[in-house]
Chain A
Amino acid sequence: EAGVAQSPRYKIIEKRQSVAFWCNPISGHATLYWYQQILGQGPKLLIQFQNNGVVDDSQLPKDRFSAERLKGVDSTLKIQPAKLEDSAVYLCASSRRGAGNTIYFGEGSWLTVV
């Protein structure tokens, strides 16, 4: 089966600009996640969707980050305005509904804010 697709793979923007990342999960996966991974650290969950509803967004900086999953399939993560500390890899992942299921990750979108 096809994996989790993400785009763009790489993006360089200036601080205060905006950027959007797109994710297409594995077909049939109800749960979709966005993680942020800063260089040298483990991934940190930003937001988790179950179908098109938000399950957990407790670590999402809501003053500048937003995410949506319309129709319960694709998702977009937006940052506006970007700060230097937002430089990171943004990983999208998906899994089947329910606890204990394997979570599959995409290749990530690499963001550099200059």
Chain B
Amino acid sequence: SQQGEEDPQALSIQEGENATMNCSYKTSINNLQWYRQNSGRGLVHLILIRSNEREKHSGRLRVTLDTSKKSSSLLITASRAADTASYFCATGGVTGGGNKLTFGTGTQLKVEL
């Protein structure tokens, strides 16, 4: 079953603009991770934020986490055409000493020149 719900399902912006994607989830988590998937390719890990963190940055990416609202957001600043992809949030729980990720439904981002 899907844990997270991304919003919006699809987003189209102009190059140079910022893109914001939101993720809501239902159960308690250990961490939340964001992944990118280009058409026909595998998933590329972008950033991991732990449940005791509120904000994290990596290059042009900024992720926030609000555990009280069970939500997270991914901000991509100064977007580029190469950022066109599907973006997934995945919540991490703890299963038998390993990490288990439950993915959301994804946001399709299109960055136009």
Contact = CB atoms under 8 A, between A and B. Distances in A.
The judgment on whether A and B are partners is: yes
A27 B75 CA distance: 32
Given A50-B97, A95-B98, A41 B105 contact: yes
A41 B103 CA distance: 9
B48 A102 contact: yes
* Most chain B beta-carbon contacts within 10 A, residue among A35, A43, A48: A43
A25 interface: no
Contacts of B88: 42-43
Interface stretch (B37-45, B63-71, B77-85): B37-45
Contact of A48 (B2, B42, B90, B100): B100
Given A45-B102, A56-B100, A103 B33 contact: yes
Given A99-B94, A100-B50, A105 B42 contact: yes
A42 B2 contact: yes
B27 interface: no
Contacts, number: 82
Interface residues of B, number: 30
A98 interface: yes
B101 to A, nearest CB: 6
A31 B90 CA distance: 17
Nearest to A32: B98
A22 interface: no
A55 interface: yes
Contacts of A98: 97-99
A65 interface: no
A100 B101 CA distance: 10
B42 to A, nearest CB: 4
B104 A99 contact: no
Nearest to B9: A40
B20 interface: no
A20 to B, nearest CB: 19
Interface in A54-94: 55-56, 91, 93
A40 to B, nearest CB: 8
Interface of A: 4, 30-31, 33, 35, 41-45, 48, 50, 55-56, 91, 93, 95, 97-108
Given A41-B2, A108-B42, 15 more contacts: A42-B4, A44-B103, A45-B100, A48-B100, A50-B96, A93-B43, A97-B98, A98-B99, A99-B94, A99-B99, A100-B48, A102-B33, A105-B44, A105-B45, A106-B42
